[in-house]
Chains A and B, each alone.
Chain A
Amino acid sequence: MHSKRGFKIPVGPQHPSLKEPESFSVALRGEKILGFDMRLGYNHRGIEKACEERTYFQDIYLIERICGICSHSHSTCFIQAVEELAGLEVPKKALYIRTLIGELERVHNHFLWLGIAGHEIGFDTLLMYTWRDREIVMDILAALTGSRVNYGINTIGGVRRGVTGEESKKILKAMDDLEERTKYYIELAMQDTTIIRRFSKVGILSKEDALRLGAVGPVARASGVERDIRRDDPYAAYGEVSFGVITDNHCDVYGRTIVRLKELMESFKIIRQVLKNLPEGAIAVKAPRKVPAGEAVSRYEAPRGEDMHYVKSNGTDKPDRVKVRAPTLANIQAVKHMLKDRFLADMPIVIAAIDPCFSCTDRIISTRDVDTGRSDVMTWDRLREYSIEWHRENGVDFSKIKTKIR
């Protein structure tokens, strides 16, 4: 589209830097961004509505799948609200284990982010290094919970698995290894010219703007806003462990990198304390199927910032309303601001620097026939049949492939 002031170019719905759909409309004059508009919602799956039709126990698993990274954050945030409504006294050991998994998740997220940030500036060695190191924490999570991402550790009233002495030793050893690696990355961030010059003065967000635009998590903290739900509104075992809230005054992508790296060091500190002081006793209390009527607001410091859930119960086994506000939604206005008057080439790293995650509800595939313009809704089964048929026509016959589960 051509206008007097410059060009307006559409970017997306395939994301320019991440593997999620997202549509941007960028008004440009030369290389400079004059205006920036986003179209969100491509990942809207109707989870809030779906929650109302399922029981609290079913909802835990649905909620855990809101995000592919912060799965534990969402499920913990949700069950905290449900436990408050049901008046449950969660055993201390369960709270400690939730904290442990939460911090391991943060470690996994921050390593993942650092790799992506490296990739966005063409520093793929950093991606290879950090993602290799990230495997250490992924293995730990898989060993503890049985899964790398959707841990399924939470249940209403506690957690589903404990931590054995043997596992505890393994975690401590892994934390030592990761701490050493993190120290190296901090040194790298402090000294490497590529990182310093490419991240500095890019995606600037002043403290005033961060407060005005409601930024959360590492984005806010890198602009000097000292806000961390773990300290301000403590949940799980955070009231009983000591850790620092990391802030930085660079107010740019560089600051966001420093904050996340230093936060890793705090996470190791928390994990060690949790394992050292892990209480004895039960890991869960029995939870009622029906939850008395009421409403509760729960918050959680996800790796990407404040996650908020509101749950309203009506005395049945299904919630009346579940509202989820994930951290990225709170950071959206800040991104718009960061890109104004900046260069187009900065767009991928600026967007990646808020560590966005565009997720939300029910899976429906809508198709539109190009010739007739007729639209149709495909169910999961029909989509599967269509896929098998399409591949068969193109020379791949899945029915002939014999797969064996070992």
Chain B
Amino acid sequence: MTKSEEIKNHLIKEFGYLEPAARTQGPRRIFMEAGADKFSEVFGFISEGMKPVMLSAITGLDEGEGLGFIYHLSRADGVIINLKTTAPKTNPVLKSVTRYFPSADVYERELRDLFGAKIEGLVEGNRYPLTDDWPAGEYPLRKDWKKKEVKDAL
């Protein structure tokens, strides 16, 4: 059994509801999905209970109906746990994970600017990476956003 399968099985044992969407890809990649209501407990478990673990990045996805967010958690043994959660496009609310990983600050600001995610618990601060005069409601990494609109917006 590869390392990634071992970790996947361990997580499924803890949280049975992860099983349907859980899969491994190669010896060091795990993909899992947790609904918005379950995400916090799984994320907390990996961050606190599987130390040392690092948040490598958060990827935002436009999946048509809703938005997807993948938290790439990398372990010291080279395995990355890619934990995904989803949120509706109309009200994409996420809880900040900065209390586990201070480095998430800038990743979450990026989700806010480029996907329009609302991050609960993220401290006030500069936006990233768009300009301060970027028009409200324009989220460039959403699929329906087109480049030409920048000129019109300005």
Interface string of A37-52 (1 = CB under 8 A from B): 1111100101011000
Chain A residue numbers with a CB within 8 Å of B129 are: 40-41, 44, 360
Query: CA A37 – CA B128 in complex, angstroms?
Result: 13
Query: CA A297 – CA B29 in complex, angstroms?
Result: 8
Query: Of the candidates B60, B78, B126, B154, which one forms a contact with A37 in the assembled complex, judged by CB atoms under 8 Å apart?
Result: B126
| Residue B103 lies at the interface, judged by CB distance under 8 Å to chain A | yes
| Residue B46 lies at the interface, judged by CB distance under 8 Å to chain A | no
- Identity of the chain A residue whose Cβ is nearest the Cβ of B52 in the assembled complex: A211
Chain A residue numbers with a CB within 8 Å of B32 are: none
Query: CA A20 – CA B70 in complex, angstroms?
Result: 30
Query: CA A37 – CA B123 in complex, angstroms?
Result: 13
Question: Size range of the interface on B?
Answer: 35 or more
Query: CA A366 – CA B150 in complex, angstroms?
Result: 10
Q: How many A-B residue pairs have CB under 8 A?
A: 93
Residue of B59, B131, B147 contacting most chain A CB atoms (<10 Å): B59
Stretch from A147-155, A242-250, A326-334 contacting the other chain: A326-334
Chain A residue numbers with a CB within 8 Å of B92 are: none
Known A-B contacts A299-B80, A310-B70; the reply to A49 vs B52 at CB < 8 A is: no
Known A-B contacts A37-B126, A40-B129; the reply to A49 vs B147 at CB < 8 A is: yes
Tell me whether B57 and A323 are in contact (CB under 8 A).
yes
Tell me whether A375 and B154 are in contact (CB under 8 A).
yes
Measured CB to CB, the closest approach of chain B to A358, in angstroms, equals 10
| Residue A227 lies at the interface, judged by CB distance under 8 Å to chain B | yes
Query: CA A321 – CA B69 in complex, angstroms?
Result: 12
What DSSP secondary structure best describes chain A's contact surface?
mixed
| Residue B88 lies at the interface, judged by CB distance under 8 Å to chain A | no
Query: Of the candidates A48, A234, A297, which one forms a contact with B82 in the assembled complex, judged by CB atoms under 8 Å apart?
Result: A297
Tell me whether A306 and B56 are in contact (CB under 8 A).
yes
> How many residues of A are in contact with the other chain, CB < 8 A?
41
Tell me whether A377 and B151 are in contact (CB under 8 A).
yes
Query: Of the candidates A233, A308, A329, A362, which one forms a contact with B28 in the assembled complex, judged by CB atoms under 8 Å apart?
Result: A233
User: Which residues of A from 27 to 85 have beta carbons under 8 Å from B?
Assistant: 37-41, 44, 46, 48-49, 84
Chain B residue numbers with a CB within 8 Å of A375 are: 154
Query: CA A333 – CA B55 in complex, angstroms?
Result: 13
Known A-B contacts A214-B103, A227-B76, A308-B57; the reply to A295 vs B31 at CB < 8 A is: yes
Tell me whether A49 and B141 are in contact (CB under 8 A).
yes
Tell me whether A232 and B154 are in contact (CB under 8 A).
no
Chain A residue numbers with a CB within 8 Å of B130 are: 41, 44
- Identity of the chain B residue whose Cβ is nearest the Cβ of A334 in the assembled complex: B103
Chain B residue numbers with a CB within 8 Å of A40 are: 106, 126, 128-129
Tell me whether B57 and A325 are in contact (CB under 8 A).
yes
Tell me whether B126 and A323 are in contact (CB under 8 A).
no
Closest 7 CB pairs of A and B: A41-B129, A214-B103, A325-B57, A44-B129, A233-B78, A232-B78, A323-B59
**What are 26 A-B contacts with C-beta separation under 8 Å?**
A38-B126, A40-B129, A41-B131, A44-B129, A44-B130, A46-B140, A49-B140, A211-B52, A214-B102, A214-B103, A229-B78, A232-B77, A234-B78, A296-B25, A297-B80, A299-B74, A299-B80, A308-B72, A310-B57, A325-B107, A330-B56, A332-B103, A332-B106, A333-B102, A333-B103, A377-B151
Q: A residues within 8 Å of B by Cβ?
A: 37-41, 44, 46, 48-49, 84, 211-214, 227, 229, 232-234, 295-297, 299, 306, 308, 310, 312, 321, 323, 325, 329-330, 332-333, 360, 362, 364, 366, 375-377
Given known contacts A321-B59, A321-B61, what 17 new A-B pairs fall within 8 Å (CB)? A41-B130, A46-B147, A84-B25, A211-B52, A212-B102, A214-B55, A214-B103, A232-B78, A233-B78, A234-B78, A306-B56, A308-B56, A325-B56, A332-B103, A360-B129, A375-B154, A377-B151
